[in-house]
Amino acid sequence: MSQHRRLRRAALPLAAATLLVSAATACTSSGGSGSGDGGTGGDRRLKVALAFPPAQAMSPYGDDAVTLSRLAVVEGLTRLDRNGEAKPALATSWKRDGDRAWVFTVREGTAFQDGTKLDAAAAARSLTAAQKASPKPRVLSDTTLTVTAEGADTVRITTKDPDPLLPQRLANPSLSILSAAAYRDGGTVNPAGHATGPFTLAKVNGAVSATLERNDAYWGDKAEAPGVDVKFVADGTARANALRTKDVDVAEYVPISQASLLGDGLVHEFPSARTNGLSLNTERGAFADPALRAAAREAIDSKALVDGVYEGRADTAQGLLGPGVPWAADLRTAPTGRAKAAAPAEVREAGRIVLATYTNRPELPEVATVVQQQLEKRGFTVEQVVRDYAQMEADALAGKYDAFIQARNTLLDTADPVSYLASDFTCDGSFNISQLCAKPVDTAVDKAASLAGTDARHRAEMTAEAAILGSDALVPLVHERFVQGYDEARVRGVALDPMERTLITADTRVG
């Protein structure tokens, strides 16, 4: 096996429990500054319960970037439409210049939330900082950017290899454009008050709450709500109860067990590109043996999970890419290179395996219990570890578990699966929990990433899927449907986004 080691994401230390906007010019809501308890904007302030607290002090280089995007705080040069196509955001236009270079025109008359001007130099600084970050954002795990400002409003971006997906890549929240004041000594980044979105991050109270204020200098349509008061509530039942009692206006990821209790007026179900899978550690422990991985795969009953855990609000596993990626089914081919499953006696001799998952998605602990039962029926001896995601991410990335159940949005990075395939399954992938390093997989993913034609790239991606499934590095469990909670009679403008980039928008409002 190659000795390449994957980049490990580590949580950035919190210098203090609370991050404050330090710039005196930071924009606040027209109703005055708010608070985590409701502020002074009255009932028009949005109250939101999110499942995941900050894991990296709101750094844009990890999963916290998605939280910032879902709260309409940060923006990139581009954005994605519902079909995953790149559209103008902080860049108004772009064009390709040869195989490896692109030229973007930066939007004029745009200011950061601290009052400083957006220009080509600011865009180049942010993208260069992301490229130099350690570890790099996942969206850059399969590419290298060289960014230069050419004049006041033109940015040239050159990639190491041809990158036909660069416009989609630049819509990733980890590549958001921030002002100079966001970048601190030691490589830390503080987006509070230094982004461009319709809401300004004014305060973060550790892993408990956050306060957002309307950015009245926003270049686009001004936010309808004067501010947003966010609570981080890892317990799914608690989020549902907060919605039921009107303690919050919007609760993300309502547990399946609570959906029927809340009723149709509060529950909004829609398809997603999320696949829940069982990552098996291919590098060490029992599942370094392909035959034992094959035995684990044969033990899994996806339909039992859909019916028993998800109460029918999910789809049985078809592959890495489910119904949320509608073109995948027609192009899917059989897995290649699968090992023969170990005999029952070999499974019993494998020793104890550690199966881990996290509490932030309420169905996953129950999924882990059912998967444990299915594996034990096959002969495995299983120990379960279940904690908050922030407490176990580093260990999962370091390969300290034999098996890890996780939910992954396969389109999250570039709205095309190639970034997911690269980050999760290649030798140098930055989110490679299965520790997979296989030349056929790397070759297939590299080929897909090099293709400019959409149809050709999709076919190549399905070839890569077949190689990954053949390795049994990940056993697909179910394809999720999203269940978001809000009262449709009083809350408007909540984004139901299969790619999970947006939730609260400038149009989201109460009344």
291, 400: one domain? yes
Give the integer Cα–Cα distance in Å for 229 and 160.
42
Summarised one tens digit per residue, pLDDT across range 452-474 is 778 898 999 999 999 999 999 99
449 pLDDT tier (thresholds 50, 70, 90): confident
Summarised one tens digit per residue, pLDDT across range 110-154 is 999 999 999 999 999 999 999 999 888 988 877 899 999 999 999
221, 292: one domain? no
301, 215: one domain? no
Burial grade of 208 (CB within 10 A; 0-12, 13-18, 19 or more): middle
Better-scored residue on pLDDT, 296 or 18: 296
Better-scored residue on pLDDT, 40 or 450: 450
Domain of 207, CATH number, reads 3.40.190.10
Site of tokens 């999910």: 314
342, 375: one domain? yes
Burial grade of 337 (CB within 10 A; 0-12, 13-18, 19 or more): middle
Domain of 467, CATH number, reads 3.10.105.10
136, 280: one domain? no
Q: What is the model's pLDDT at position 281?
A: 98
Question: What HEC string does 131-155 produce?
Answer: HHCCCCCHHHCCCCEEEEECCCCEE
In this prediction, residues 356-383 reach a mean pLDDT of 96
Give the integer Cα–Cα distance in Å for 137 and 141.
7
In this prediction, residues 494-504 reach a mean pLDDT of 91
In this prediction, residues 299-318 reach a mean pLDDT of 95
| Most confident stretch, 7-11, 257-261, 442-446 | 442-446
In a domain, 13, yes or no: no
Q: What is the model's pLDDT at position 192?
A: 97
Summarised one tens digit per residue, pLDDT across range 215-224 is 999 999 999 9
Give the integer Cα–Cα distance in Å for 115 and 215.
11
Alpha carbons within 13 A on the beta-carbon side of 58: 35
Q: What is the model's pLDDT at position 13?
A: 35
In this prediction, residues 435-444 reach a mean pLDDT of 97
64, 210: one domain? yes
**Averaged pLDDT score across all residues of the chain:** 90
Is the per-residue pLDDT at 25 higher than 50? no
Give the integer Cα–Cα distance in Å for 201 and 190.
10
Q: Domain range spanning residue 56?
A: 18-252+487-510
Collapsing DSSP states into helix, strand and coil, what is residue 309?
coil
Share of the chain above pLDDT 70, in %: 92
Is the per-residue pLDDT at 30 higher than 80? no
477, 492: one domain? no
In a domain, 11, yes or no: no
Whether the CB-CB separation of 306 and 312 falls below 8 Å is answered with: yes
161, 244: one domain? yes
In a domain, 9, yes or no: no
Q: Kindly report whether the peptide bond that precedes residue 13 is cis, defined as omega within 30 degrees of 0.
A: no
In a domain, 304, yes or no: yes
In a domain, 6, yes or no: no
379 pLDDT tier (thresholds 50, 70, 90): very high
In a domain, 267, yes or no: no
Q: What is the model's pLDDT at position 42?
A: 53
Domain count, the chain: 2
211, 133: one domain? yes
Question: What HEC string does 246-304 produce?
Answer: CCCCEECCCCHHHHHHHCCCCEEEEEEEEEEEEEECCCCCHHHCHHHHHHHHHHCCHHH
315, 439: one domain? yes
Apex 454 CA angle, 473 and 130, nearest 5: 65
Summarised one tens digit per residue, pLDDT across range 61-102 is 988 999 999 999 999 999 998 777 899 999 999 999 999 999
In a domain, 360, yes or no: yes
216, 74: one domain? yes
Is the per-residue pLDDT at 1 higher than 60? no
Whether the CB-CB separation of 375 and 317 falls below 8 Å is answered with: no
Burial grade of 37 (CB within 10 A; 0-12, 13-18, 19 or more): exposed
What is the secondary structure of 5-71 as a DSSP string? ------PPPPSSSEEE---TT----TT----TT-TTSGGGSEEEEES---SSTT-TTSTHHHHHHHT
Q: What is the model's pLDDT at position 187?
A: 82
In a domain, 266, yes or no: no
316, 286: one domain? yes
Structure tokens at 210: 């956050």
